[in-house]
Amino acid sequence: MSPSSLLLLLLAVEPARATLIRVPLRRIYTGPRTLNPLRGWGKPAKPLRLGAPSPGDKSVFVPLSDYMNAQYYGEIGLGTPPQNFSVVFDTGSSNLWVPSVRCHFFSLPCWLHRRFNPKASSSFRPNGTKFAIQYGTGRLDGILSEDKLTIGGITGASVVFGEALWEPSLTFTIARFDGILGLGFPTLAVDGVRPPLDILVDQGLLDKPVFSFYLNRDLEMADGGELVLGGSDPAHYIPPLTFVPVTIPAYWQIHMERVKVGTGLTLCAQGCAAILDTGTSLITGPTEEIRALHVAIGGIPLLAGEYLIQCSQIPTLPPVSFLLGGVWFNLTAQDYVIQIARGGVRLCLSGFQALDVPPPAGPLWILGDVFLGSYVAVFDRGDMKGAARVGLARARPRGA
């Protein structure tokens, strides 16, 4: 087969009639001073729970999201006419929520963000069930409601979402986003609420429960990339996609075979669990392994598991490679070092952070935006014929 024929075959993987919903993403760099207040997202108040909540349990723990030094978010609408909100599209949770005009008077985040007004929507349907999500930095409490969702120009999907009434966390106060739209599996959803992605498929607005992220990590550009619902755009990546099966369908968890630092250090030597999480900025791993990694690349330890890198050393640093699905995915120092220029001062932060996730879910690695900015991820929930999987391919350079 000729190279041109092979390329045409690869580009034809997505059906021509597939409905693709494109949501532009924006990225805000929040600066190093906000790192510590947000650290609680990576510190579970209780051990991680995977699996359906027990009967009568109206809360679910979502400790993996870490909106740290960059926030990727996009616009959605709720109600008729649509009330617009900025939401983080988070593969580490499965509920949609936004602040409510009915929120508690002392809930500061409500006053700093857009709020949903049920009286301004002709399609609003009350539900009234109370819900709560426990984050590392505090609880999010509210009530469930039902209304129409507008996303990427598609309208008419009737979804159950949370109206946040009480947000005691500093995380939400300083966040540039209003709420969160979860793209995890139904198992993680509070109160068994059907996730928005499932609703779009159920109502025929999406051909299949597949979505993909194309993230732009250039801090000088406001363009944050694109979320594609219903499939993927081959223009975003260099084919072919390498598919890796999901091992536990709650978070997007896969098996990672090995991690190598240059040619001299092997981590995750016996294989380990990894989670692909768009809500996590960095790549995290067990403390001892991340410490060994930074010894190899000359990282200088800071607080909360973070490390500094000498900017002048970037050209000499070794690649860090991840073996997934039998294929090596390499990150160069340009990929894994976050370079920040402020007021003529250049600061270089390591894209690797120590984070110990306790059993039974841990120990595990979290492949966040440092990884997902270099490799496009296609999240495929599967169907009756096939199990869930994640496809990975090198992202095309911007403007290519």
How many CA within 13 A on the CB side of residue 283? 23
Distance CA 190, CA 168 (A): 19
Under a CB-based contact definition with an 8 Å cutoff, are residues 195 and 180 in contact? no
**Pairing state of beta strands 210-215 and 223-229?**
antiparallel
Percent helix, percent strand, percent coil in the chain, to nearest 5: 20, 40, 40
Residues marked as catalytic: 90, 277
Under a CB-based contact definition with an 8 Å cutoff, are residues 96 and 182 in contact? yes
Burial of 10 (C-beta count, 10 Å sphere; 0-12/13-18/19+): middle
- How many CB atoms within 10 Å of residue 326? 8
State the distance between the two ends of the chain, measured CA to CA, in whole angstroms: 25
Cα distances from 270 to residues 66, 183, 360, 366, in angstroms, run 27, 30, 18, 17
Instruction: Tell me how many helices (H) and strands (E) the chain has.
Output: 8, 27
Angle value at C-alpha 349, between 72 and 295, nearest 5 degrees? 130
Of 381, 244, 284, the closest CA to residue 63 belongs to: 284
Distance CA 242, CA 395 (A): 13
Neighbouring-strand partners of residue 77? 84, 150
Under a CB-based contact definition with an 8 Å cutoff, are residues 400 and 308 in contact? no
Distance CA 57, CA 240 (A): 43
